[in-house]
Chains A and B, each alone.
Chain A
Amino acid sequence: MKRVQREIVVIGSGPAGLCAAIEAAQAGAGVLLLDENAKPGGQLFKQIHKFFGSADHRAGVRGLDIGVQLLKQAEDLNIEVWLNSEACGIFDQNSVWVVRDKQHSITVEAQRIIIATGAVENSINFPGWTLPGVMGAGAAQTMINVNRVLPGHRVLMVGSGNVGVIVSYQLLQAGAQVVAIVEAAPTLGGYGVHTAKVRRAGVPFYASHTVKEARGTDHVKSAVLVNLDSNWQPIDGSEFEVEVDTICIATGLTPAVELAFGSGCTPVNSPALGGLVPVHDAGMKSSNESIYVAGDVCGVEEASTAMEEGRIAGLCAAHSLSYLDEAAFSRRFEQLQHNVNALRSGMFGQRRREAKESIVSSYGVHR
């Protein structure tokens, strides 16, 4: 098998991977950025809404425009990018087996590897869930915002977290009708400003409700909703039917940890961040000295946090290869820590911050 050598290999070119590559390259390291998709950016180019945060996080800029800025930066830094390149495994701590264009195998021997493989959507199953028309909210978002195809005209959204409400808003913008947003919990999950935006557009929320069944023969024709009691059990007789042709599932994400765990990174359970994640220190180093992690793969948060975390991973990986003097490193590290902590504060962020601190504090123990 063909072998090549690189200083730092970043796996995944979403918000975390792109920022990791940029930060490492800015520090002077040679970077190869891999992505299995035909285009870089991960989920960033689907995010047509303005991002939260402060100026440090490019708040107020739409996600897709942040993506354009990052790609420009990566180009200016001459970062080597391999698209259609799947990282299939990591062996002997440092060797990444890559399959390019689904046909050529190549081994990249890297001094440092940054895994930024993101997360995958959770699904829930119910009678009829395999009918065409039932899809992940992320799939619907790709259809409308990347491919400009409307998945349907009357949509049921299952899940009221930020993904559910943001995709609902974007479905309205794309011209669909969102018939209802159901939430199994007694209270809605997403930011109030997001729920308010879709509610004032006339979309009703059903807290303590879930989808019991999708009906139809060759396509979704309707959905049966049911009220849940305080133990999350369906209340008999509370069922009602809504006419929909699309059911979007937005019930959370699970870190895409296969590559990390396959390479021997030690897992730690973090329910608040999506389940099992590779344990890492404050500099995003995994239990393996040469492997760093960043973004949703090590705890599901959101794109702005993933970008800051990616920068920390890129900075620390480069520093571990003796790039940057101590003063420059410390200054930048503190700045990035400040940026990421700012996003992990407040009524929504505090829980994520505590979960991250717990992962970092268990680093020594779990290694």
Chain B
Amino acid sequence: MSRREHEESRLKVSGAVSLAELHQTAEYILPDERFSKPVAVIECIEAIPCNPCETACPVGAIVIGDDITTLPVIDPTICTGCGICVAACPGLAIYLKQKNHGPGLSYIAFPYEYLPLPKAGDVVTMANRYGEGVCAGSVVRVVKTTRFDRTAIVHATYDSAFYEDVVNMVRL
């Protein structure tokens, strides 16, 4: 898929939300280079009845309100980057990101429910929203706790040229 298609295709045709659709959604907030730690990014653009992200957040950084079909809004300045919402989201639509984690390196922590799991130190292929490999990534750690209920969270660094494109990794 070309870069143009990635930017212009539609969720209800391609299955993946495009950058154009995300950028039209006020609730999609990608942290810029000023953030000194990874914070949660939410790609939830359809009004479905769901609010575990809001109830899971220990610091009240995610707000939905009484009408649970309202899109979640995150305040990234409050988010501590704990990652609890990443595992709590039934839609696997949340990840943590930091643009400048190191020189030329971005950071992502994404939900991953496949076996085998990668392990710290592995070099993996980072994937965009269409499942295409876009660059190499280094796995920093893989978090599996009881609270995450069998959803592993993979932390990895990758080339910051692909900061916004990368959302996951190519399955092993």
The answer to whether the Cβ of A203 comes within 8 Å of any Cβ in the partner chain is yes
CB contact between B47 and one of A54, A187, A347 (< 8 Å): that residue: A347
The answer to whether B12 and A192 have CB atoms under 8 Å apart is yes
The CA of A343 and the CA of B52, in the complex, are separated in Å by 14
The answer to whether the Cβ of A330 comes within 8 Å of any Cβ in the partner chain is no
The CA of A202 and the CA of B168, in the complex, are separated in Å by 11
The answer to whether B49 and A196 have CB atoms under 8 Å apart is no
The answer to whether the Cβ of A194 comes within 8 Å of any Cβ in the partner chain is yes
Closest Cβ of chain A to B146, distance in Å, is 12
The answer to whether B55 and A173 have CB atoms under 8 Å apart is no
The answer to whether A60 and B88 have CB atoms under 8 Å apart is yes
List of B residues within 8 angstroms of A196 by Cβ: 11, 15-17, 43, 91, 93, 129
Closest Cβ of chain B to A99, distance in Å, is 39
Closest Cβ of chain B to A349, distance in Å, is 6
Closest to A186 in B: B13
Closest Cβ of chain A to B70, distance in Å, is 9
Closest to B111 in A: A197
Binary B-proximity of A195-220 (CB < 8 A = 1, otherwise 0): 11111111111010000000000000
The winner among B45, B56, B90, B127 for most chain A CB atoms within 10 A is B90
Binary B-proximity of A163-202 (CB < 8 A = 1, otherwise 0): 0010000001100000001000011100111111111111
The answer to whether B48 and A188 have CB atoms under 8 Å apart is no
List of A residues within 8 angstroms of B56 by Cβ: 60
Closest to A60 in B: B52
> Which of the 9-residue segments A25-33, A44-52, A112-120 touches chain B?
A44-52
Closest to A195 in B: B15
CB contact between B49 and one of A49, A165, A349 (< 8 Å): that residue: A349
The CA of A186 and the CA of B13, in the complex, are separated in Å by 7
Number of chain A interface residues as a range:
35 or more
The answer to whether B51 and A54 have CB atoms under 8 Å apart is yes
CB contact between A194 and one of B55, B91, B131 (< 8 Å): that residue: B91
Binary B-proximity of A294-331 (CB < 8 A = 1, otherwise 0): 00000000000000000000000000000000000000
The CA of A62 and the CA of B16, in the complex, are separated in Å by 24
Closest Cβ of chain A to B110, distance in Å, is 9
List of B residues within 8 angstroms of A61 by Cβ: 149
The answer to whether B92 and A197 have CB atoms under 8 Å apart is yes
The answer to whether the Cβ of B152 comes within 8 Å of any Cβ in the partner chain is no
The answer to whether B48 and A348 have CB atoms under 8 Å apart is yes
The answer to whether A199 and B46 have CB atoms under 8 Å apart is no
The answer to whether the Cβ of A89 comes within 8 Å of any Cβ in the partner chain is no
Q: Which of A265-284 contact B (CB under 8 A)?
A: none
The answer to whether the Cβ of A59 comes within 8 Å of any Cβ in the partner chain is yes
Closest Cβ of chain A to B111, distance in Å, is 9
Instruction: Take A59-B51, A187-B12 as given contacts and tell me if A345 and B67 are in contact as well, using a CB distance cutoff of 8 Å.
Output: yes
Instruction: Take A54-B68, A173-B113, A200-B168 as given contacts and tell me if A193 and B16 are in contact as well, using a CB distance cutoff of 8 Å.
Output: no
The CA of A172 and the CA of B14, in the complex, are separated in Å by 18
The answer to whether A60 and B15 have CB atoms under 8 Å apart is no
The answer to whether the Cβ of B170 comes within 8 Å of any Cβ in the partner chain is yes
Binary A-proximity of B126-157 (CB < 8 A = 1, otherwise 0): 01111110000000000000000111000000
The answer to whether the Cβ of A53 comes within 8 Å of any Cβ in the partner chain is yes
The answer to whether B168 and A53 have CB atoms under 8 Å apart is no
The answer to whether the Cβ of B69 comes within 8 Å of any Cβ in the partner chain is yes
Q: Apart from A173-B113, A199-B14, list 9 A-B contacts with CB within 8 A.
A: A193-B43, A193-B91, A196-B43, A200-B16, A200-B127, A202-B171, A205-B13, A207-B13, A346-B69
7 tightest A-B CB contacts, nearest first: A193-B91, A202-B131, A346-B69, A199-B15, A60-B52, A195-B15, A346-B47
Chain A interfacial positions (CB closer than 8 Å to B): 49-55, 59-62, 65, 160, 165, 172-173, 181, 186-188, 191-205, 207, 342-349
> Can you spell out 21 A-B residue pairs with CB atoms less than 8 angstroms apart?
A49-B90, A50-B149, A52-B90, A54-B49, A54-B52, A60-B55, A60-B90, A62-B150, A160-B15, A188-B11, A192-B46, A196-B11, A196-B91, A200-B130, A202-B170, A345-B67, A346-B47, A346-B69, A348-B46, A348-B47, A349-B48
